[in-house]
Structure 1
Amino acid sequence: MMSFMGYTRSYYKRENIVNWMGKIILCNWKMNGSLSMIEHYFSELNLEPTSNKKCTIGLAVPFIYVQPFQEYLKESTWRLGVQDVSQFSVAGAYTGEISASMLKDFHVQFVLVGHSERRQYFKENNSILFRKIKNLLSENITPVFCIGETLEEKKLGCTQDVLNQQLSVLDNIGIDINKIVIAYEPVWAIGTGHTPSQEEIQMSLGHIRSQILLRHSEADRIPILYGGSVGVGNAKEIVSIDHVDGLLIGGASLRSRDFVKIVESVIEIT
């Protein structure tokens, strides 16, 4: 047991590499949360109905709240993740950065990479995203690689070209590509209440599957998630679509009761 300033490290220790079971439901809390909010969230949340072999549940939380989430999740089967990692692999003078090896110390199991908000606000490009993915894989942490087109790109009819360009990040990953999860999030659907039709989702995810198979013949095992305005009203319908291996949920995951309803609806059809 290791203790530092009241923080005991023995209570939460898990393998970093995730063994995905059934449908995958990942939550992106973005820059939300407080200690009081987290306490209230789990006071309303009955973990038992959401602990099921039919699905794997994970929370991507702000770095600073990893410790309290670990405390609440210590008796559950949920996975714990964060929303970013440094592109730099070696410790050094990179103020504000958090490396993959630091995340491994805290038993973080997955990390979002390439979210459209990171691409937009922090100008993250393919070379940066490639380094982040490689750093995570070197520490046996699962990268959840987010891709998706903007509304303008959709209107121009170049969705597949955009996805191809984004997926080119994976060209030189090699056999470790099987350790990655891909999340398709149309930028125009995130937080807007608008979602693509079932046919559009199926077509886009089918295209993504064909593209990753071109990069590695055994990549058919890579889970592909859908994200973008997923809520209680549409989760069951979306997760029933061909090629959809799970969901990446944003705002709806901040409301514990809604989140439980989403999970229960997914379990119901699997």
Structure 2
Amino acid sequence: MTPGIRPLIAGNWKMNGTSDSLGELQAIAAGFADASGNEADGLICVPATLLDRAAKAMAGSPVASGGQDCHAKESGAHTGDISAAMLKDCGASHVIVGHSERRADHGESDAVVAAKAKAAWQAGLVAVICIGETREERVSGKTLSVLSTQIAGSVPAEATAANTVVAYEPVWAIGTGLIPTLPDVEEAHAHIRAELKRLIGAEADGVRILYGGSMKPDNAGELLSINNVDGGLIGGASLKAKDFLAIANAVKGK
């Protein structure tokens, strides 16, 4: 982790969660302060259908609620889409933009991601901007150049430590159980920090850079010990309070 930066342990529930899941959220909220020793912030990004109830279930706890995507426009004829202002109205404090699944399944470009980040800021939300390379790009030695391109295109120049979190998610590691080597993670996060400095100057020193991609209780400690890894964006392991709290517990002593 980076000295002086308060870690963020964030969960992305993806297309999972119904009313029956509120108990897990309540358990996460109740246990998070003890698990992290008050040394980290918590966040769970739930489906839009659950957001209002999630915010209420976790109210007053160290765990915030967030959305998983937003439209770049504040309102209008966009059937099925949700604006950042709507997420804010439901109790969100953050929203994920540019997740690899949105980029792949919905063809979202870097420019679209940047527009969504700006929309999030306008609504008073923190944008969690996702970047990461595919397996083919890693094998061909393009990881760092891909990250540079995505940062330049997806992170607006107005980004600050207060309004932006960057999540590095190697696409090939998401949900596969595979992770890059620890030196590879360190190299990627150092490169992201350097590129952010190139884009937004000294403000980049305070931006939280999360690692995402099969972070679990058994590897969280090692990953969180790496310089410039300021927390995690957790997928499957965030669906169960026991697993998510175990990852939060790994923050202690780092």
From 110, 118, 127, the equivalent of 1:134 is 118
Q: Matched residues in 2 for 1:166 and 1:45: separation? A: 33
From 192, 214, 222, the equivalent of 2:207 is 222
Q: Which residue of 2 aligns with 1:53?
A: 38
Q: Which residue of 2 aligns with 1:210?
A: 194
Matching of residue 247 in structure 1 with residue 245 in structure 2: no
**Greater shift in the superposed pair: 199-208 or 176-185:** 176-185
| Change over 3 Å in CA distance of 1:41–1:60 after alignment to 2 | closer
Deviation at 1:107, TM superposition (A): 3.0
Residue pair 1:22, 1:53 contacting (<8 A) in 2 also: no
Find the residue that maps to 2:105 and give its secondary structure: helix
Q: Unaligned regions of 5+ residues in structure 2, if any? A: none
Q: Unaligned regions of 5+ residues in structure 1, if any? A: 1-19
Matching of residue 93 in structure 1 with residue 85 in structure 2: no
Deviation at 1:174, TM superposition (A): 3.0
Find the residue that maps to 1:195 and give its secondary structure: coil
Deviation at 1:104, TM superposition (A): 2.1
Matching of residue 176 in structure 1 with residue 159 in structure 2: yes
Q: Matched residues in 2 for 1:148 and 1:197: separation? A: 15
Of structures 1 and 2, the larger Rg is shown by: 1
Aligned length: 248
| Change over 3 Å in CA distance of 1:206–1:51 after alignment to 2 | closer
Return the TM-score normalized by structure 1. Answer: 0.86
| Change over 3 Å in CA distance of 1:129–1:260 after alignment to 2 | same
- Which letter maps to 2:78? Y
User: How do 1:1-270 residues align onto structure 2 when only pairs under 5 Å count?
Assistant: 22-39=6-23, 42=26, 46-47=30-31, 48-50=33-35, 52-89=37-74, 91-170=75-154, 173-178=156-161, 179-218=163-202, 219-266=204-251, 268-270=252-254
Residue pair 2:24, 2:240 contacting (<8 A) in 1 also: no
Provide the alpha-carbon RMSD of the alignment: 1.9
Percent identity between matched residues is 37
Q: Matched residues in 2 for 1:223 and 1:40: separation? A: 26
Residue pair 2:22, 2:57 contacting (<8 A) in 1 also: no
Give the structure, 1 or 2, with the largest relative contact order (CA under 8 Å, sep 6 or more): 2
Find the residue that maps to 1:98 and give its secondary structure: coil
Residue pair 1:170, 1:177 contacting (<8 A) in 2 also: no
Q: Which residue of 2 aligns with 1:6?
A: none
Q: Matched residues in 1 for 2:6 and 2:118: separation? A: 26
Residue pair 2:30, 2:61 contacting (<8 A) in 1 also: no
Q: Matched residues in 1 for 2:168 and 2:187: separation? A: 12
